[in-house]
Amino acid sequence: MSAAIEINNVEKAFPVKDGNSVVALHDVSLSVPAGEFVSIIGPSGCGKSTLLYIIAGFSSFDSGSVSVNGKPVTGPGTDRGIVFQEYALFPWLTVLGNAMYGLRHRDLSKQEQREIAQQHIKDIGLEGFEHRYPKELSGGMKQRVAIARTLACDPDILLLDEPFGALDSQTREVMQDQLLRIWQETGKTVVMVTHDVGEAVFCSQRLVVMHARPGRVKSEVRVDIDRDRPREQVMVSEEFNEIRNDVWLSVREEVALTARTRR
Amino acid sequence: MTSMTTVAPGKSSSLSAKGGRRAGRLVIGVLKYVAPLAILALLWQSLSWLGVLNPKTVPSFFSVVAAVVDLVAEGEIFRHLIVTIYRAELGLALGVVLGVGLGLAMARLRSVYHVSYPLVALTYTLPKTALIPIVFLWLGVGDASSVFVVFIGAFVPIVITTFHGAESVQENLVWSARSMGASSQRVLWTVIFPAALPQILNGVRIAQAFSIVIVISAEMVASYVGVGRFIFVFGEAGNYDYMFAAISIVIAAAFVLDRLFLLLKGRLLRWAETEGASR
């Protein structure tokens, strides 16, 4: 199977005051096959969100190459859907209006647009809330709308930037289950940035652990666990906890290192 | 938002009690508004009675009230008031259309920003009323000059609030729209404009108040009709009670316009987090 995302030797520096610059990403290479669920994990400041924004086409990079489905990335595109931690819903549109936003400029009748949007709202469990404004929804519901809005555009690749970081742990687990179900049903490629090790191990097939200052790939971990079991069986299983502990130690090492260099 | 009220036994009685409470709240609300004004009026009238205020230059409160009643009964003032409001609102409307356009362009296009910013910054502190005589020289005495000066006065604050509103739009809203296939043109009208709308409407509200001030100043300098002219004529003739009465009617009209605008704003921003009680 060909790679959905191909990143080779990417370098990225941010200018700071006094004409200096900070290296955000150094020699980052990553290949994501179509249909894979990959999580990028690491301490804050390791450039994981920057890397995601480069894939999304929001940020530029200084050297190296980034391609999606064989084509170099030059800007945002409908082949890559994004979900942000802060939901980024359009507050002036209702749930239905948000879910229909990406369908407006397609060759679809109003009725078809509405039906597609409604289907995705229903799938994510928000039936009956179509005419609410985002301000009337809880955090978990807002994030569901953001996911429905992105899925309605039917992108090949889902880019998730700490999608559940603002939610309480119970809501977060429900959302992770829902995300896994969507991934299993649609077979989309998913790249998720998170700082939650348990979440990363539970959801993804592969973990990319990043090193901070400058951001680079430290290690990759395959997660071969059987996900056809209910969550409680997965979470107490030996295989899950073994991987979780290893990755947690690896990330912790990075956090400790960053804290030391900061002083 | 509807508030939950505990249901008392007996539905009909609780409903009427609720209606009564609502009426009670309304009365208290009006009283809170009127009480400070009533105290001021009483103070004013007392000073007149005590002879502290010279009735030749500062008419008593009651004589102004009598003059208001007289003006309203006679009705002539309303013809002038309509002309004044028409000029103010037309100038404001022009200021909104062009001001929002320039403000959005400045936020999106560097070149427009670099050309316009110094001009806008300088015009911001320019006393617009100082332009009135020269504008009359250019455009003649009539609607066009008044509308033009109002337009200048409304345009600048609207450009500034639109620019700041458009510039502070969260980047991830724009990114989301782009990822869903929206063109930059579509992003401008469906993301940046609505996101900036709360700030734009704050600018329009301030501009509306400016508009009334400017149009009346213009009418006082030169005009055949308009409330400014009306006030000026009474002032020249030394009819200060009628002059104050006309000013009071202008204040009342401006207050109503402001309240109407707040209603419109609340309606347009019913989705906004912070749009609760509008003041």
Range of the domain at B53: 27-57
Q: Which of B2, B178, B180 to mutate to test the interface with A (most CBs of A within 10 A)?
A: B180
Quick one: B155 and B75 in the same domain?
A: yes
User: Is the torsion defined by CA of B179, B184, B186, B188 positive or negative?
Assistant: positive
Quick one: B123 and B189 in the same domain?
A: yes
Quick one: B157 and B50 in the same domain?
A: no
Residues of chain B with Cβ-Cβ distance to A101 below 8 Å are 177, 180, 182, 190
Give domain status of residue B275, yes or no. Answer: no
Nearest to B172 among A88, A134, A150 (CB): A88
Q: Identify the weakest region by mean pLDDT among A162-166, B8-12, B216-220.
A: B8-12
Question: In angstroms, what separates the C-alpha of A101 from chain B's closest C-alpha?
Answer: 8
Quick one: B47 and B123 in the same domain?
A: no
A165 exposure class (CB count in 10 Å sphere: 0-12, 13-18, 19+): middle
Question: In angstroms, what separates the C-alpha of B62 from chain A's closest C-alpha?
Answer: 49
Q: Identify the weakest region by mean pLDDT among A43-47, A210-214, B1-5, B25-29.
A: B1-5
A60 or A259, higher pLDDT: A60
| Nearest in space to B151 (alpha carbons), one of B91, B210, B101, B208 | B91
Q: What pLDDT sits at residue A261?
A: 65
> Which value, to the nearest 10 degrees, does the dihedral of the CA atoms of residues B19, B20, B21, B25 take?
100
Reply yes or no on whether the pLDDT at B21 is more than 90. no
Nearest to B175 among A58, A92, A134 (CB): A58
Quick one: B123 and B151 in the same domain?
A: yes
**Alpha carbons B135 and B140: distance in angstroms, whole number:** 8
Quick one: B47 and B106 in the same domain?
A: no
* pLDDT tens by residue, A219-258: 899 998 888 888 888 888 888 889 999 889 888 888 787 7
Residues of chain A with Cβ-Cβ distance to B273 below 8 Å are 91, 135
CATH of the domain at B154: 1.10.3720.10
Whether residues A88 and B176 touch (CB distance < 8 A) is answered with yes
Whether residues A78 and B173 touch (CB distance < 8 A) is answered with no
- Tell me, yes or no, if A93 comes closer than 8 A to chain B by beta carbon: yes
Give me the mean pLDDT over the A35-54 stretch.
91
**Alpha carbons B114 and B110: distance in angstroms, whole number:** 6
**Alpha carbons A71 and B164: distance in angstroms, whole number:** 37
- Tell me, yes or no, if A86 comes closer than 8 A to chain B by beta carbon: yes
Residues of chain A with Cβ-Cβ distance to B272 below 8 Å are 91-92, 135
Quick one: B52 and B81 in the same domain?
A: no
- Tell me, yes or no, if B183 comes closer than 8 A to chain A by beta carbon: yes
Question: Look-up: residue for tokens 């940020």?
Answer: A59
| Per-residue pLDDT band at A58 (split at 50, 70, 90) | very high
Reply yes or no on whether the pLDDT at B15 is more than 70. no
Question: In angstroms, what separates the C-alpha of A140 from chain B's closest C-alpha?
Answer: 17
Give me the mean pLDDT over the A107-115 stretch.
90
- Tell me, yes or no, if A90 comes closer than 8 A to chain B by beta carbon: yes
Give domain status of residue B8, yes or no. Answer: no
Which helix (H) or strand (E) segment is A6 a member of? Answer: strand A3-15
- Angle (CA) A92-A96-A101 rounded to 5° is 70
Quick one: B144 and B215 in the same domain?
A: yes
SS3 of residue A194 by DSSP? strand
Q: Residues A29, A8: contact at Cβ < 8 Å?
A: yes
Q: What pLDDT sits at residue B10?
A: 44
SS3 of residue B209 by DSSP? helix
- Give the A:B interface size as CB pairs under 8 Å: 72
Q: What pLDDT sits at residue B11?
A: 45
Give domain status of residue B203, yes or no. Answer: yes
Give domain status of residue B102, yes or no. Answer: yes
- Tell me, yes or no, if B16 comes closer than 8 A to chain A by beta carbon: no
| Per-residue pLDDT band at B14 (split at 50, 70, 90) | low
- Tell me, yes or no, if A81 comes closer than 8 A to chain B by beta carbon: yes
Q: Identify the weakest region by mean pLDDT among A34-43, A169-178, B1-10, B125-134.
A: B1-10
Q: Which residue type occupies A44? A: S
Reply yes or no on whether the pLDDT at B4 is more than 60. no
**Alpha carbons A176 and A80: distance in angstroms, whole number:** 20
Task: State what percent of residues in chain B have pLDDT above 70.
Answer: 92
Whether residues B194 and A92 touch (CB distance < 8 A) is answered with yes
* pLDDT tens by residue, B69-117: 999 999 999 999 999 999 999 999 999 999 999 999 999 898 999 999 8
ipTM metric? 0.92
Quick one: B210 and B253 in the same domain?
A: yes
Q: What pLDDT sits at residue B33?
A: 82
Give domain status of residue B64, yes or no. Answer: no
- Tell me, yes or no, if A56 comes closer than 8 A to chain B by beta carbon: yes
Q: Which of B17, B35, B57 is the last residue of a domain?
A: B57
Quick one: B45 and B80 in the same domain?
A: no
Question: In angstroms, what separates the C-alpha of A131 from chain B's closest C-alpha?
Answer: 11
- Tell me, yes or no, if B274 comes closer than 8 A to chain A by beta carbon: no
Give domain status of residue B15, yes or no. Answer: no
Residue A214: half-sphere exposure toward Cβ, Cα within 13 Å: 15
Give domain status of residue B278, yes or no. Answer: no
| Per-residue pLDDT band at B2 (split at 50, 70, 90) | very low
Q: What pLDDT sits at residue A252?
A: 84
Q: What pLDDT sits at residue A166?
A: 87
Q: Which residue type occupies A153? A: C
Q: Give the mean pLDDT of chain A.
A: 91
Quick one: B53 and B167 in the same domain?
A: no
Q: What pLDDT sits at residue B277?
A: 43
Give me the mean pLDDT over the B183-194 stretch.
94
Q: Which of B2, B176, B275 to mutate to test the interface with A (most CBs of A within 10 A)?
A: B176
Quick one: B125 and B237 in the same domain?
A: yes
Reply yes or no on whether the pLDDT at A6 is more than 50. yes
Reply yes or no on whether the pLDDT at B202 is more than 90. yes
Nearest to B179 among A56, A93, A134 (CB): A56
| Nearest in space to B207 (alpha carbons), one of B166, B265, B168, B246 | B265
Whether residues B172 and A86 touch (CB distance < 8 A) is answered with yes
Give domain status of residue B276, yes or no. Answer: no
Domains and CATH numbers, chain A: 1-79+195-263 (3.40.50.300)
Q: What pLDDT sits at residue B5?
A: 44
Kindly list the distances between the CA atom of residue B43 and the CA atoms of B30, B39, B235, B242, B247, in Å, as whole numbers in the listed order.
20, 6, 24, 20, 19
A261 or B217, higher pLDDT: B217
| Per-residue pLDDT band at A4 (split at 50, 70, 90) | very high
Nearest to B182 among A57, A84, A105 (CB): A105
Say what the pTM is.
0.86
* pLDDT tens by residue, B118-168: 888 888 888 888 888 899 999 988 899 999 999 999 999 999 999 999 999
Q: What pLDDT sits at residue B161?
A: 94
Give me the mean pLDDT over the A142-152 stretch.
95
Reply yes or no on whether the pLDDT at A108 is more than 70. yes
If one counts the domains in chain B, the total is 2
Residues of chain A with Cβ-Cβ distance to B190 below 8 Å are 90, 101
